[in-house]
Amino acid sequence: MGSEDIWIIGSNMTKFGKHPERDVVDLASEASVAALHDAEMTMSDIGVIGVGNLMNAGAGIGQQLQKQIGQTGIPVFNVSNACATGATALRVAIMAVKAGETDVGMAVGVEKLAGAGLLGQKGPKPKSETWEPSGRFGAIGSTEGRIGTNIMPGVFAQIGMEYGHKYGGTSFELFAKISEKNHAHSTLNPLAAYQKRFTLDEIMNDVMIAYPNTRPMCSGNCDGAAAMIVVNDSKLKSLPASVRKRAVKISASVLTSDPWAEGCQVLPDVNTLTRNAATQAYEQAGIGPEDLDLVELHDCFATAELVHYDNLMLCEQGGAVDFFESGAPWRDGSKPVNVSGGLQSKGHPIAATGIANIHEIVTHLRGEAGDRQIVGAKVGLAHVIGLGSACGVHILEKAA
């Protein structure tokens, strides 16, 4: 790894929501051009692009984007890594800059998901009714309905229930209160797909998707894109003062997958790889969870937010319920979490989410978050996790 620090100098995202009249290239172009404008650069300054899309671009979304915003012959990496796709695209840009291949890298994540339903997993049909945890079909065949569920709402419902079973203190109402917090936060975020406050009763009495998650407690499928431009130290020094003073330092950039584990892991383990990523990130950045001023974590469901308080070490192990009940993760609490409204109301266009979470932190560190600004924010952490599994954690710091 190069010794130079990496800085975000351009960051932007579209409004998340339904964009029926625009395709993925339109959305990616809007975010990219806005990020270039933010960095006071043009495509001719960019040395590498990482572009993430999971569901709908077919081959070469990065090349399609170039045709729209400027073809300059530079390397393009098309990235697909479950819900960590956006964070992975950013890692690509960071790694290229760290490796000295270029001074300026760009990352883009885009998705059109409005009306996509539950995104059930598809796979080859196994030959036998008996599921075997080995061989080709054991590794990639769908287990849906055979040994439980692998559709997201079911998996994350189980993960929340498992945490409660292990440590106690959880209830349907507690999970609903997490959702109440994020929907309340969303009312201050003009880019969120939904900006509607819900009462606890409204959340608890809505359609049950997979107990204990009702519809408002699930992330919203929607359309959107986010883009980011990164540079190294030497490049930053050569840029105008107006860019330098808004630069945000990437103190840690980590991507993990599942470590090897004994036996058949029937339930995906979202905990170990997140804890590993957080541990590495705190070490890389030379800070601890106590130093964070705000956190954007992957609340694909209300149950997920609770377990990630613990996985990101915002509380002691087993202490997530107490941490939430202390009021800490509210916007006016000691450790604000998902001030953007989170995936439950900001929305979750899969490949864009990893960059959008980081963009939210950047906006606060620059002091540009308007009504939802966390006053004096200097350090923030952004987290995403995709089943399969991939986890991205980035720690950002305000320019001195």
From 67, 64, 66, 75, select the one nearest 102 (Cα to Cα). Answer: 75
Angle between helices 350-365 and 85-98 (to 10 degrees): 60
Residue 247 carries which DSSP code? -
What is the dihedral angle through the alpha carbons of 391, 346, 62, 387, rounded to the nearest 10 degrees? 30
Q: How far apart are CA 289 and CA 294, in angstroms?
A: 10
Tokens of 369: 């978050």
d(CA 40, CA 10): 8
Residues 276, 298 contacting (CB under 8 angstroms): no
Residue 207 carries which DSSP code? -
Position 1 scores a pLDDT of 43
pLDDT of 271 reads 95
pLDDT of residue 145: 67
Name the nearest CA neighbour of 274 among 295, 250, 249, 251: 295
The reported pLDDT for the residue numbered 163 is: 96
> What domains can you pick out in the chain, each with its CATH number?
6-116+222-247 (3.40.47.10), 152-217+251-398 (3.40.47.10)
List the beta strands (DSSP E) in 274-313: 294-296
Which stretch of DSSP H or E encloses residue 92? helix 85-98
Q: Are 22 and 28 in contact (CB under 8 A)?
A: no
Q: Are strands 6-13 and 390-398 parallel, antiparallel or unpaired?
A: unpaired
User: How would you write the pLDDT of the chain (400 residues) with one tens digit per residue?
Assistant: 456 899 999 999 999 999 999 999 999 999 999 999 999 999 999 999 999 999 876 679 999 999 999 999 999 999 999 999 999 999 999 999 999 999 999 999 999 998 776 655 455 566 676 767 677 666 666 666 666 777 888 889 999 999 999 999 999 999 999 999 999 999 999 999 999 999 999 999 999 999 999 999 999 899 999 999 999 999 999 999 999 999 999 999 999 999 988 765 567 899 999 999 999 999 999 999 999 999 999 999 999 999 999 999 999 999 999 999 999 999 999 999 999 999 999 999 999 999 999 999 999 999 999 999 999 999 999 999 998 899 999 999 998 6
Give the predicted TM-score (pTM) of the model: 0.93
pLDDT of residue 132: 72
Q: How far apart are CA 397 and CA 61, in angstroms?
A: 31
What's 376's DSSP letter? Answer: T
Residues 45 and 32 sit within 8 Å (Cβ to Cβ) = no
The backbone torsions φ and ψ at residue 35, rounded to the nearest 5 degrees and listed phi first, read -70, -40
CA 11 to chain centre: 15
